[in-house]
């Protein structure tokens, strides 16, 4: 364990990190731990310990994992995860659980696989990112306390005030999809989190991103949409179009995005590019 570092986000993991620390210290002698106070702090810690650490373990939600992962892209370093966020979409999709003994076994074995990531302009994403309705939800969710119940509340409030997002694709073969949308998501894995499958056929190893175009629907229809999303049947929904691409460009009339669940301002035009086999993760 001398070449392993545990990076903890105490904000996303506020209910879990103290029990995690206690359990870790019972099982591992003098573990290397960093309790992060910012993204910059996390990046600096990784830079300072890069040569001496083989496995960086992110303890937190998808945003925490993403902030660690972006410093490990296209290197020989391996990402480990202890999920402690509210949605944990990426953790679910890459078979990490809150079973500490299982995680330590993975670390000791050091087996890994290489998965795809992608960029939204210059910003890295490892799971699902998007603009439109869910970008606005991420923006509004920042102002509340975390939790699935609050997320649903903010989503409903945002829905009533949201105006459709205008999207224009650059390449001629995609221009037939120009139009107004509720949201546009870019998916590397199948789900947002909490088993909400926005792209049921997405894969982290196919070299492709799933561009998910969702037309606006009524709140009543939203119940049907949500049922399909949580049962993995959204591909069959008439309001949804999927484009499987290694790279794509488009413009929008909104700069509100979420990157792996974290709010970001990303100005248009947008360029999406998949980075094949760019991240090593424990298996």
In this prediction, residue 15 carries a pLDDT of 65
User: Cβ(6)–Cβ(34) under 8 Å?
Assistant: yes
CATH of domain 4-110: 3.40.50.10330
> For residue range 23-63, what is the model confidence (pLDDT) as tens digits?
999 999 999 999 999 999 999 999 999 999 999 999 999 99
Helix (H) or strand (E) holding 136: helix 133-141
Summarised one tens digit per residue, pLDDT across range 180-220 is 999 999 999 999 999 999 999 999 999 999 999 999 999 89
In order, the DSSP letters of 65-81 are HHHHHTTTTTSS-EEEE
Tell whether the model's pLDDT for residue 13 goes beyond 80: no
Q: Where are the domains of the chain?
A: 4-110, 123-276
Q: For 3-7, 76-80, 218-222, 229-233, which range has the lowest pLDDT when averaged over its residues?
A: 218-222
Among 72-86, 88-102, 146-160, 243-257, the least confident range = 146-160
**For the packed helices 148-161 and 219-230, what is the interaxial angle rounded to 10 degrees?**
140
Mean pLDDT of the chain: 94
pLDDT given at position 198? 97
CA 250, CA 173: separation in Å to the nearest integer?
A: 12
Helix (H, G, I), strand (E, B) or coil at 43: helix
Please give the Cα distance from 275 to 126 (Å, whole number). 10
Fold annotation for 123-276: Tumour Suppressor Smad4 (2.60.200)
SS3 204: coil
Q: Residue 115 pLDDT more than 90?
A: yes
Q: How far apart are CA 20 and CA 22, in angstroms?
A: 5
Band of residue 152 on the pLDDT scale cut at 50, 70, 90: confident
All residues at 6 or more sequence positions from 260 whose CB lies less than 8 Å from its CB, including other chains? 62, 63, 65, 66, 89, 90, 125, 126, 127, 128, 129
The answer to whether 12 touches 63, Cβ cutoff 8 Å, is yes
pLDDT, mean of residues 118-147: 90
Identify the pLDDT of residue 86.
80
Distances (CA, A) of 103 to 46, 79, 96, 211: 20, 11, 7, 32
pTM of the model: 0.93
Query: How many angstroms separate the CA atoms of 25 and 133, rounded?
Result: 42
- State pLDDT tens for residues 154-171: 888 889 889 999 999 999
**Of the candidates 75, 60, 80, which has an alpha carbon nearest to the alpha carbon of residue 15?**
60
Please, which pLDDT band fits residue 98 given cuts at 50, 70 and 90? very high
H helix intervals, 180-236: 219-230
């Amino acid at each position: 364990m001398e070449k392993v570092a545990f990076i903890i986000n105490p904000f996303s993991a506020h209910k879990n990190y103290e029990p995690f620390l206690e359990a870790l210290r019972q099982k591992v002698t003098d573990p290397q731990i960093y309790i992060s106070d910012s993204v910059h702090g996390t990046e600096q810690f990784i830079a300072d310990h890069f040569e001496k650490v083989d496995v960086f373990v992110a303890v937190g939600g998808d945003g925490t994992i993403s902030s660690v992962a972006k410093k490990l892209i296209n290197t020989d370093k391996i990402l480990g995860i202890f999920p402690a966020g509210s949605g944990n979409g990426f953790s679910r999709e890459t078979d990490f659980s809150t079973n500490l003994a299982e995680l330590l076994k993975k670390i000791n074995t050091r087996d890994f696989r290489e998965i795809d990531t992608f960029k939204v302009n210059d910003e890295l994403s490892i799971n699902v990112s998007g603009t439109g309705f869910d970008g606005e939800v991420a923006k509004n969710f920042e102002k509340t306390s975390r939790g699935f119940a609050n997320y649903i509340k903010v989503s409903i409030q945002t829905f009533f005030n949201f105006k459709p997002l205008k999207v224009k694709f650059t390449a001629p073969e995609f221009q037939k999809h120009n139009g107004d949308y509720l949201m546009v998501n870019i998916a590397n894995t199948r789900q947002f989190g909490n088993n909400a499958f926005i792209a049921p056929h997405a894969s982290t190893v196919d070299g492709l991103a799933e561009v998910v175009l969702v037309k606006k629907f009524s709140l009543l229809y939203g119940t049907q949409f949500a049922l399909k999303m949580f049962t993995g049947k959204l591909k069959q929904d008439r309001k949804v179009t999927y484009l499987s691409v290694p790279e794509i460009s488009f413009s929008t009339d909104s700069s509100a995005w979420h990157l792996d669940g974290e709010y970001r301002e990303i100005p248009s035009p947008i360029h999406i590019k998949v980075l094949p086999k760019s991240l090593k993760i424990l298996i």
